[in-house]
Copies of this chain bind each other. A is one copy, B any other.
Amino acid sequence: MMGASTKQGYEIAKKSRKIVRLLIEDKIKNFSKEERKIIERVVHSTADLDFAELIEIHPNFVNKSLEALNNNEDIFVDVKMVKVGINKYPGNILCYIDDKDVIKLAKKKQITRAAASVEHLVNTNFNGIVVIGNSPTALYKIIEFHKKNKLKVKSVIGVPVGFVSAEEAKEMLKDSGIPYLITRGPKGGTSVAVAAINSLINMRDKNEF
């Protein structure tokens, strides 16, 4: 549970998860069982009850995500903090932010490295899950390439954070047709992203829907 591998870690996670459930169960009763698990894990990871009211999930998000995870499809992430936070996934986790070509491309085009790493992704055979924990510009690029039919995506966890562009990028994702999980407004972040994808990986592992 929660990646805790020892008794002490397990006990803390178990008690915390119970508290979270009691604190937010009324707010999330209209979500499916799997969606509630994801939201509970996000609140557990952030100790921020607001997320119980800020998370929105597309009706096909859980199914499409689990389909990708069960096929060990690649997971693309915007930043390293998301990459290293993902637990126990046998597929590839792609993070191109430190790739030399990506750094060159970002400088040349004067775009963020996270956005440039999406341009790099388009040249691969990607057909997996996108997890954006930080960068609104990366999320814009995902949507742009999806609309141009240049990128296949099973689902997007789109929780970039910030007072500039993040909210707009998430609203645009909602209108894109891609199955999504978002956090409304400026809040979000790498911890939210990691909690959501790890929750899905956990469902896959245990067939624990």
Contacts and interface: CB of A to CB of B under 8 A. Distances in A.
Contacts of A20: 163
A111 B4 CA distance: 10
Contacts of A6: 106-107, 110-113
Given A47-B166, A84-B81, A162-B44, A111 B8 contact: yes
A5 B97 CA distance: 12
Interface of A: 4-9, 12, 15-16, 19-20, 23, 44-48, 80-81, 83-85, 103, 106-107, 110-113, 115, 136-137, 161-166, 185-191, 194
15 contacts: A8-B111, A9-B137, A12-B112, A12-B137, A12-B165, A15-B164, A16-B164, A23-B163, A45-B189, A47-B162, A47-B188, A48-B187, A81-B85, A81-B194, A84-B84
Given A9-B137, A83-B84, 11 more contacts: A6-B112, A9-B112, A12-B136, A12-B165, A47-B162, A47-B185, A47-B186, A47-B187, A48-B187, A84-B84, A85-B190
